Copies of this chain bind each other. A is one copy, B any other.
Amino acid sequence: MKTNPGNFFEDFRLGQKLVHATPRTLTSGDAALYTALYGSRFALQSADGFAKALGLPRAPLDDLLVFHTIFGKTVPDISLNAVANLGYAEGRFLKPVYPGATLSAVSEVIGLKENSNRKTGVVYVRTEGFDETGDKVLSYVRWVMVNKRDASAVVGEAVVPKLEGVVPPAALQAPKADFTKLDTAASGSAHLWDDYAPGEKIDHVDGMTVEETEHMMATRLYQNTARVHFNQYTEGQGRFGRRLIYGGHVISLARALSFNGLGNAFTIAAINGGRHVNPLFAGDTVFAWSEVLDKAEIAGRKDCGALRLRLVATKNQPCADHPDKDADGNYPPSVILDFDYWAVLPRRA
């Protein structure tokens, strides 16, 4: 058989390395599409001149464009037979990526745990993304529930990796820029790292309605082949009766909305965790709010610091009152994303 049936749960082995197909050169064309898809307005990624004034060679690509591109490569090997994408952890952005870079991805299976129904199991992989020089640009763990081909197949002992709940501040990296040169008129926000305090909640106000074409164009741009996003013929007969929007599309939408309140949160240093707690469909309108969970210095840097942010996205519900999970940890149906990350912001001199 020459077509790829994808791996089933019993096909994975602990320690297995998967070299993913289709390296991808990201260009200014991809950057333009990213802007058209999300309307992101962070100045660092929008303007070469702004980036140069801070000492960078040019505007880097959006960190999430890099993330989605690496993630997309893993789908044919990891999650073609997935039931659900369960979570992310230990995401680290290690090097800014500029137009012209060619990215590739490798994953290692770091955990396997069959479910009690024996029909599915959870696969944990650490995925690493590299540029054409061999430098690692991104590393993250995700775990995903994957179907077994054969429920009766006997699998090994469960191994669940111990994962950091939060990427430690000492591991955070910021672009080699001089953020004291920041022009806040150009960036659109006067609020620096110093101005945010743990516990602070920010409603990002704006809403963005999603159409079928947009999420499919985005997901194809990332060469992500997960069938639930593209195939109305099959999905129309499935659980939701329609195509499901790629979770990464939701993260990018919420992050773009977060410009309004976090305009100087230029880069993502780390992803501590993330869960897609309800599905998003075309026609829904996405809103978002953020909570400052923590703040930390970045080793060797006085010009910038890190904010640990929780980015919550909703559908068809404005976020003035910060819709959230209840005391038992249950999310209302309007909440679709709970994403925990470290952002880098300039500091006051």
Q: Mark A169-208, 1 if CB is under 8 A from B, else 0.
A: 0000000000000000111110100010000001111111
Q: Choose among B32, B211, B283 the residue that contacts A29 (Cβ–Cβ < 8 A).
A: B32
Could you tell me the dominant secondary structure of chain A's interface residues?
Answer: mixed
The closest CB in chain B to the CB of A28 belongs to B27
Binds B, one of A16-24, A141-149, A151-159, A323-331: A16-24
> B230 contacts A209, CB within 8 Å?
yes
> A24 contacts B47, CB within 8 Å?
yes
List the 7 closest pairs (A to B, CB-CB), nearest first.
Answer: A21-B188, A29-B32, A39-B220, A233-B285, A29-B29, A23-B47, A27-B28
Bound-state Cα–Cα, A49 to B260, Å = 38
> In the complex, which residues 258-310 of chain A have their Cβ closer than 8 Å to any Cβ of chain B?
260-263, 283, 285, 287
> B212 contacts A211, CB within 8 Å?
yes
> B102 contacts A49, CB within 8 Å?
yes
Bound-state Cα–Cα, A132 to B219, Å = 33
Chain B proximity of A334: nearest CB distance (Å): 11
Chain B proximity of A304: nearest CB distance (Å): 18
Q: Choose among B30, B189, B261 the residue that contacts A32 (Cβ–Cβ < 8 A).
A: B30
| Seed contacts A2-B189, A38-B220, A211-B211; 18 additional CB < 8 Å A-B pairs | A3-B260, A4-B188, A21-B189, A23-B186, A25-B46, A28-B28, A29-B30, A29-B32, A30-B32, A35-B221, A37-B220, A41-B223, A48-B100, A49-B102, A206-B225, A209-B231, A209-B232, A211-B212
